[in-house]
């Protein structure tokens, strides 16, 4: 097998981690197989001897080939040469792969969508070579390896957080892991940044959910998410307990209400979702952070029908009016709303705004 590698995918941070791991292995003569990038400490390549970096958007293929062939004036004869070419989606021919010196390592990196592989293209597509080169086929023909590094599934995010935290000797309470996972979603780069922040703040102690709420933007959504889950399950005791925790932490009733409205909107769209294409389209329509937020709600969406979601909207709207009109204090209005959403009789907050019991 020739030391030619193509790293591609849609998770830039994890691609950089794998690149750093691969460069370290090739420069030292170690095995190129990944030992699990969750355990690799940093995307920093450092300054290993014999490593050259190029950008395919600005550097000529001849310069990249020369980097692989040249040992330099003072290089040791046994120095391992590694050439990294980033943004390889900009290449317009496969000459770099075909003519690259076989005794040097070539790593091609891209986070862009590459043209379809040769096996999947039609005859018409084969004739059109102006839009790019089939790097996957070129690397395969050269005896190299293609590695796809995709975004983590939502179910794998907590495990990734725990693994990256262990590298920092940082311990997170299970609830803190869940809160961080919901707050940052699938953004592994941001996970790294937030873990560094939490580690500095914790100073050696276990990170608690309160720390995540205090330091991580959007972390309150995780608690409101748990509140909404309890409401959907009609777990009155759990829902009221969650609400009281949020209010005790100083969260404004109107902010909690706004997040409840948002999450019921996501729940409405998730109930109509049938697959990945629907998720992508709906995420754009409601400006969700990612389709993963819709998939996270799928399990809850199966518990409710549209009639119940419509009824929830009516209750949330009435609560907003009751607070703004000063019919009662915000905490009482929100508590009545949560009880009503859980199906408790005689807790209909609409009575505060209509002045009489609404027709049911």
**What's residue 5's pLDDT?**
95
Distance from C-alpha of 252 to C-alpha of 250, rounded to nearest angstrom: 6
Nearest to 39 by CA among 124, 143, 163, 147: 163
3-class DSSP string for 206-217: CECHHHHHHHCC
Strands, E, within 36-111: which ranges?
51-55, 82-86, 105-110
**What's residue 258's pLDDT?**
87
Q: Read off the tokens for 110.
A: 């891209």
Distance from C-alpha of 317 to C-alpha of 329, rounded to nearest angstrom: 16
pTM above 0.75, yes or no: no
Q: φ, ψ for residue 84 (rounded to 5)?
A: -105, 130
Q: Which residue has the tokens 């004869």?
A: 77
Which domains does the chain carry? 4-149 (3.40.50), 154-215 (1.10.8.60), 220-354 (1.20.272.10)
**What's residue 207's pLDDT?**
94
**What's residue 131's pLDDT?**
45
Name the packing angle between helices 174-184 and 188-202 (round to 10°).
140
Q: Is 258 exposed, middle or buried (0-12, 13-18, 19+ CB in 10 A)?
A: middle
Q: Read off the tokens for 317.
A: 């709207």
- Answer whether 313's CB lies under 8 Å from 264's CB: yes
**What's residue 127's pLDDT?**
40
Q: How distant is the alpha carbon of residue 304 from its chain centre? A: 27
- Answer whether 110's CB lies under 8 Å from 74's CB: no
Residues 6 or more apart from 325 whose CB is under 8 A from it? 353
| Per-run averaged pLDDT (10 residues), the chain, 360 residues | 90 94 88 89 84 92 88 59 92 91 91 61 43 81 91 87 94 90 85 94 90 79 77 87 84 85 78 62 57 59 76 87 86 89 80 58
Q: Read off the tokens for 39.
A: 């355990």
């Amino acid at each position: 097998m020739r030391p030619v590698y193509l790293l591609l995918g849609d998770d830039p941070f994890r691609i950089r981690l794998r690149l750093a791991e691969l460069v370290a292995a090739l420069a030292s003569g170690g095995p190129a197989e990944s030992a699990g990038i969750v355990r690799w400490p940093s995307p920093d390549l450092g300054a290993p001897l014999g490593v050259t970096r190029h950008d395919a958007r600005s550097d000529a293929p001849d310069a990249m080939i020369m980097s692989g062939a040249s040992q330099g004036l003072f290089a040791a004869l046994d120095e391992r040469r590694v050439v990294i070419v980033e943004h390889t989606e900009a290449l317009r021919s496969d000459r770099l792969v075909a003519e690259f010196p076989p005794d040097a390592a070539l790593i091609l990196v891209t986070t862009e969508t590459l043209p379809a592989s040769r096996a999947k293209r039609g005859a018409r597509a084969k004739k059109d070579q102006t839009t790019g080169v089939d790097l996957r086929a070129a690397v395969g023909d050269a005896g190299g390896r293609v590695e796809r590094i995709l975004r983590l599934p939502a179910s794998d995010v907590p495990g990734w957080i725990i693994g990256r935290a262990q590298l920092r000797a940082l311990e997170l309470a299970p609830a803190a892991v869940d809160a961080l996972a919901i707050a940052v979603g699938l953004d592994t780069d941001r996970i790294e940044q937030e873990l560094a922040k939490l580690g500095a703040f914790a100073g050696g102690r276990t990170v608690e959910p309160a720390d995540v709420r205090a330091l991580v933007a959007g972390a309150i959504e995780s608690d409101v998410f748990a509140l909404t889950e309890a409401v959907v399950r009609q777990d009155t005791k759990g829902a009221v307990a969650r609400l009281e925790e949020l209010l005790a932490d100083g969260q404004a009733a109107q902010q909690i209400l706004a997040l409840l409205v948002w999450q019921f909107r996501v729940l409405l769209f998730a109930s109509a979702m049938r697959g990945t294409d629907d998720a992508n389209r709906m995420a754009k329509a409601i400006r969700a952070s990612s389709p993963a937020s819709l998939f996270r709600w799928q399990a809850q969406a199966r518990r409710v029908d549209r009639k119940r979601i419509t009824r929830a909207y009516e209750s949330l709207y009435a609560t907003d009016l009751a607070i703004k009109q000063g019919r009662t204090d915000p905490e009482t209005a929100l508590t009545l709303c949560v009880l009503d959403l859980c199906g408790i009789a005689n807790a209909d907050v609409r009575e505060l705004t209509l002045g009489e019991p609404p027709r049911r």
